[in-house]
Structure 1
Amino acid sequence: MNLEGMPAADVDHPNAAIRISSWAELLDALFADSWVPEIGRYRSRYAFRGLSDAGYPLETTLIRLGGDYAPLERHLLRNFRKYAHRRVVERDSVWHWLSVAQHYGLPTRLLDWTYSPFAALHFATAHIDKFDRDAAIWGVNYIEAHRLVPDILRSRLELEGANVFTVEMLSESIKSLPELEQLCVQPFTLFFEPPSIDDRIVNQFAFFSMSSDPTLSLDRWLADYPEIWRRIIIPAELKWEIRDKLDQSNVTERVFFPGLEGLTAWLKRHYSPRD
């Protein structure tokens, strides 16, 4: 999961950010609105994304290519499908291929999210070279976001009794990216769960957002729907405390990136001096 971006201006509306000042306030903000009366359980309906710099926008890796990037999307995906081994996908659909491509770092219109606020906190505090700047946790209510998708997609969710799409559900409804783009005059964003490609996807409790418009930065789209999202600002001075508490809770690279790569990343950060 890649949770970094490039600096950009904040979204401008009165509820754009919640600035916390303590660990307790942070937990309250992360789990706000998680009570679901219908089932009598605490089940948050938010997708979370952690950014080590609060100034980073919600831009996809495709947008960050720069230049005239939108027409390149189909070439990137076509060649990925051409050269990648067929066994890397369980089904030959564009949504399966997009999931695998995003997971392995190909520029796509997808954006990484997690169901876990603690996973988002990890990515917001994993880079100690950015501890001199504020971090941010974005939260988007995916149920409310899906009320804005076209009827063909919303009815598929209702038929399944689901809150989030799967690649199989998308494959049964829409066959291609051009078909997705032609569904609606107004841009929309949906959230879907990728196949369990490997332990990283599973351990990070990961899923993706996808826009009908490949040029749309998600924070710009969200600016028109302030009621479905929130943004928590983590002051730079709190990062060390949060990071240490996450480490003690075993919320580390060793868990999210199983294998020697994650182990060495955790050890390197864990034993780095504070200064």
Structure 2
Amino acid sequence: MNEIRINNFQELHEALERYRKDNRWMFRGHGNADWKLLPKAGRAPFDKTDDERMFRAWQRRSVEFLSPRPGNEWEWLAIAQHHGLATRLLDWTYQPLVAAFFATTSQDNCDAHIYCFKADQIYEKTDGSPFEADTLAKYKPHTVASRIVRQGGLFTLHPDPATPLDKSKSKKDTLELIVIDQEYRKLLPFELSHYGINHSSIFPDLDGLSNHINWFTSNNEYWITKEPGSDGI
């Protein structure tokens, strides 16, 4: 797997240049270098259960909260994933700086990772069941949630959730890695926020706004200027 290490924003910009002219690339941020490319249904303790059975239970009980209801089973699964259910979908984004945000929001004292993936296959016909799909491939949902749109979100679907993507991808798929040095990861969230990538922009609701202001307040010493109106919130 091709790998590049970055230590500042200029190096990050240069690393991302190679992906600019091919919109098939998608990105995923990991705050801990030890995390595997596994959907939640393939991680402990969820890997000990039948993820389809859990999804059916979620689907049956979720109808009271959804109006209008999703148009097909793929959209149901995307909404379940979006709201935290352990599914066989893995989140990605078309926006590399969004991936960088998710890679650096935690306080882990280690390198962070941005995975760059180009899938050879895409699920375009979604009239069947995602649980009958037998190929690891990209899935682009319709507008089922505003956060997914704001984050440039899409998914890979994993027929075997317990097998990491780097082990289950085909020879025609391409996986690359950008490693954010553990020292630089402390600074990168501030630089991303300067360019409009923060909790408030990625999560367009009151929770996102509250998290952004809490983050700003808890890191207030970063900003040297204390003049009225210069807080940047």
Using structure 2 for the length normalisation, give the TM-score. 0.84
Change (3 A) 1:20 1:72: same
86, 100, 105: which one pairs with 1:121?
A: 100
Structure 1 residue 67, shift from structure 2 partner: 6.6
Where structure 2 has 5 or more consecutive residues not aligned to the other structure, the ranges are 223-233
| CA–CA distance in structure 2, aligned partners of residues 99 and 111 of structure 1 | 10
Does 2:43 match 1:96? no
| CA–CA distance in structure 1, aligned partners of residues 46 and 24 of structure 2 | 36
* Aligned 8 A contact 1:54 1:136 in 2: yes
Identity of counterpart residues, as a percentage? 28
Aligned residues: 219
Does 2:4 match 1:18? yes
> Secondary structure in 2 aligned to 1:98?
helix
Does 2:214 match 1:258? no
- Residue pairs, 1:59-70, within 5 angstroms: 59-66=38-45, 69=48
| CA–CA distance in structure 1, aligned partners of residues 54 and 189 of structure 2 | 37
Structure 1 residue 178, shift from structure 2 partner: 4.8
Does 2:118 match 1:141? yes
142, 145, 148: which one pairs with 1:198?
A: 145
Change (3 A) 1:209 1:236: same
* Aligned 8 A contact 2:105 2:189 in 1: yes
RMSD: 2.3
The one-character-per-residue Cα deviations of 1:84-138 (angstroms, maximum 9, x if unpaired) are: 11535331x32121111101111100000000001101111112x22x2110000
Change (3 A) 1:30 1:88: farther
- 2:226 maps to none
Change (3 A) 1:67 1:60: closer
Where structure 1 has 5 or more consecutive residues not aligned to the other structure, the ranges are 1-14, 36-42, 147-163, 182-187
> Secondary structure in 2 aligned to 1:105?
coil
Using structure 1 for the length normalisation, give the TM-score. 0.72
Does 2:75 match 1:58? no
